[in-house]
Amino acid sequence: HPVYTPPTGPELNAKNWQSESALRMFLNNLTAEVAEDPEKLVVYGGIGQAARTPADARKIVELLLTLEEDESLLVQSGKPVGKIRSHAEAPRVLIANSNLVPHWATWEHFNNLRERGLMMYGQMTAGSWIYIGTQGILQGTYETFAACGRIHFGGDLRHRLVVTGGLGGMGGAQPLAATIAGATFLGVDIDPERIKKRLETRYIDKMTYDYNEAMRLVLAAQAKGEAISVGLVGDIGDVLERMIQDNITPDVLTDQTSAHDPINGYVPNGMTLPEAKRLREEDPAAYKEKSLKSMARHVHFMLELKNRGARTFDYGNNLREFAMQGGEKDAFQIQGFVPEYMRPLFCEGKGPFRWAALSGDPEDIRVTDEALKELFPENTHMINWLEQAQEKVAFQGLPCRICWLGMGEREKAGLLFNQLVREGKVKAPIVIGRDHLDCGSVASPYRETEGMLDGSDAVSDWPLLNLMANTSGGATWVSFHHGGGVGIGYSQHAGMVILADGTDRADRCLRRVLHNDPAMGIFRHADAGYETAQENAEKFGLNV
């Protein structure tokens, strides 16, 4: 299989920077440091791919190398299927991945088409060529914890104890995110290997097998307001039970065990890892039953700690649903993280603004970090994140940065980056994008649009309007996907990436796209009845 490596430096390989930027970011998604399984073209998130087959990947590269500024490339579920007539202020690439007519929108039908080579699963940023590695999940988790600090603790999480289960692929971002947000952190994982991995990458500070030692460490740190993180090997249910007995109530309680998969993910209470592995294979039905019962027990303890005052939330792993199936009727008294922590941000047009230095030079990101700090000196929350990220985040592939920005800020930041490119302060153009999980780009009733005020959770007109807005505004590439995050049938969402190459053309496109894109979030939430969104619509002159 080919080795995918994005070109770097200030020289063009394609005919213009628009095509070049798509080329570099496409290859960046597939490069070994970034992609989970480059051979299978899998970038992240299960089977989230950047192209359908290696032949399609090669073809995409060829076509991007020769694409003119008055053409656009069409990509259908990871396969390049045509070129159309276009113009310089329109997208260079138009992407539609994994979309199915609703009645046929099931994993069964999808997998059947996928096996026959007709489709690909695009996840969110895998098929839309703007995945940036673990920094994305780290920052998203940081935003959640920080929001929790602002909303419930009048500022930050200093002197607050955060407790959670699961320190795996994504959950492993929790200790670092929590300490960046100022908290003292205890994470429980049944698998010591997973905690060791977090130690090695410096995502967690200490590891122990001993409940008492863990408690001593975190309670002392909490008292002193020390932001440290401890990983404890054990079953999360058991640990919560003992904390209840010992009258220790965390300030914040959540969970990222892989509860979404009761057979291959969650480990039932009372079993060692090898026992669990054996039962999984020998009797999956029995395993599942144990798993559901354990989740019910686990959630039962979470509810008890919630009653005792712990701020408790579901972190998008479907734990509530399976705990309910296991017998815990009150499971859904725990709220999802979006309505409580993300939606207030969405109402300000805030979301996962991110950018990459096409030069490949980490120094360019340092320059943008500093420029942003100067641009928004009053945004201490952002400055805190940038400083911690500079220190703690290792780059994967092309150097990049993520930080959540809102209405107004995104446009300013984009124009600033374009100026840095124009003035030669960075060595090559910069691309700006975002996750499909954003304020106005997704309909996903089990996650981003759970529990909307007016009950419009399932209305997907909004991501479609977002797609149209970014396509007409002149994003450099746009995408529309189905099934990201929560799986086939459950979500529809739009992506966009826009180039800052220092030109006036880019200035015009940035002014439109980075204004309209967050405005969609404000329109959507104002229409659903959220007051802060309505106030922001007023403030930014968005009312009609």
Ligand X SMILES: NC(=O)c1ccc[n+]([C@@H]2O[C@H](COP(=O)([O-])OP(=O)(O)OC[C@H]3O[C@@H](n4cnc5c(N)ncnc54)[C@H](O)[C@@H]3O)[C@@H](O)[C@H]2O)c1
Instruction: Judge contact between 383 and 146, C-beta under 8 A.
Output: no
Instruction: Judge contact between 257 and 295, C-beta under 8 A.
Output: no
* Torsion-angle region of 443 (φ positive above 0: left; ψ -120 to 50: alpha; else: beta): beta
The single-letter DSSP state of residue 238 is: H
Which of the residues 124 through 153 are near ligand X (CB under 6 A)? 137
Binding status of residue 527 toward a copy of itself by CB under 8 A: yes
Binding status of residue 284 toward a copy of itself by CB under 8 A: no
Q: Which does 191 bind (CB under 5 to 8 A by kind): ligand X, a copy of itself, none?
A: ligand X
Range in contact with a copy of itself (rule: CB under 8 A) among 29-37, 153-161, 359-367, 443-451 = 443-451
Q: State yes or no: is 403 an active-site residue.
A: yes
Which of the residues 88 through 107 are near a copy of itself (CB under 8 A)? 89-91, 94, 96-105
Q: Which is nearer to ligand X, 124 or 426 (CB)?
A: 124
Using alpha carbons, select from 532, 42, 454 the residue that is nearest to residue 51: 42
- At 493 the three-state DSSP class reads strand
Instruction: Judge contact between 178 and 229, C-beta under 8 A.
Output: yes
Binding status of residue 76 toward ligand X by CB under 6 A: no
The single-letter DSSP state of residue 435 is: -
- Residue 253 backbone phi and psi in degrees, to 5: -135, 130
Q: Which is nearer to a copy of itself, 107 or 209 (CB)?
A: 107
Q: Which does 188 bind (CB under 5 to 8 A by kind): ligand X, a copy of itself, none?
A: ligand X
Q: Which does 260 bind (CB under 5 to 8 A by kind): ligand X, a copy of itself, none?
A: ligand X
Using alpha carbons, select from 22, 108, 31 the residue that is nearest to residue 71: 22
Q: How far is CA 100 from the centre of its chain?
A: 23
Which of the residues 42 through 81 are near a copy of itself (CB under 8 A)? 59, 63, 72-74, 76-77, 79-81
Q: Which does 262 bind (CB under 5 to 8 A by kind): ligand X, a copy of itself, none?
A: none
Q: Which does 267 bind (CB under 5 to 8 A by kind): a copy of itself, ligand X, none?
A: ligand X
Nearest distance from C-beta of residue 395 to ligand X, angstroms: 21
Q: Return d(Cα 95, Cα 77) in angstroms, integer.
A: 8
Residue type, 8: T
Q: Which of 149, 445, 484, 502 binds a copy of itself (CB under 8 A)?
A: 445
Which of the residues 420 through 449 are near ligand X (CB under 6 A)? 447
Binding status of residue 267 toward ligand X by CB under 6 A: yes
Q: Which of 61, 96, 167, 365 binds ligand X (CB under 6 A)?
A: 167
Q: Return d(Cα 487, Cα 447) in angstroms, integer.
A: 11
Q: How far is CA 90 from the centre of its chain?
A: 27
Range in contact with ligand X (rule: CB under 6 A) among 51-59, 148-156, 186-194, 277-285 = 186-194
CA angle, 14 then 19 then 24, to 5° = 80
Binding status of residue 515 toward a copy of itself by CB under 8 A: yes
Q: Which does 259 bind (CB under 5 to 8 A by kind): ligand X, a copy of itself, none?
A: ligand X
Using alpha carbons, select from 59, 212, 41, 250 the residue that is nearest to residue 127: 41
How large is the angle between the packed helices 54-66 and 17-30, nearest 10 degrees? Answer: 160
Binding status of residue 258 toward ligand X by CB under 6 A: yes
Q: Which does 82 bind (CB under 5 to 8 A by kind): ligand X, a copy of itself, none?
A: a copy of itself
- At 443 the three-state DSSP class reads strand
Q: Return d(Cα 38, Cα 135) in angstroms, integer.
A: 19
Q: Which of 6, 78, 133, 171 binds ligand X (CB under 6 A)?
A: 171
Instruction: Judge contact between 58 and 65, C-beta under 8 A.
Output: no
Q: 10 Å Cβ neighbour count for 50?
A: 33
Binding status of residue 465 toward a copy of itself by CB under 8 A: yes
Residues in the chain: 544
Exposed, middle or buried, 217 (CB in 10 Å: 0-12/13-18/19+)?
Answer: buried
Closest residue (Cβ) to ligand X?
168
Choice among 347, 400, 403, 439 that is catalytic: 403
Binding status of residue 168 toward ligand X by CB under 6 A: yes
Binding status of residue 137 toward a copy of itself by CB under 8 A: no
Q: Which of 35, 119, 240, 310 binds a copy of itself (CB under 8 A)?
A: 119
What is the pattern of x (binds ligand X, CB under 6 A) and - over residues 210-239?
-------------------------xx---
Query: Which residue is associated with the tokens 């969402």?
Result: 493
Q: Which is nearer to a copy of itself, 89 or 191 (CB)?
A: 89
Binding status of residue 349 toward a copy of itself by CB under 8 A: no
Binding status of residue 542 toward a copy of itself by CB under 8 A: yes
Instruction: Judge contact between 273 and 267, C-beta under 8 A.
Output: yes
Binding status of residue 114 toward a copy of itself by CB under 8 A: no
Q: 10 Å Cβ neighbour count for 273?
A: 12
| Contacts with ligand X, residue ranges (CB under 6 A) | 137, 165-171, 188-191, 194, 235-236, 256-260, 265-267, 315-317, 447
Catalytic residue numbers read 403
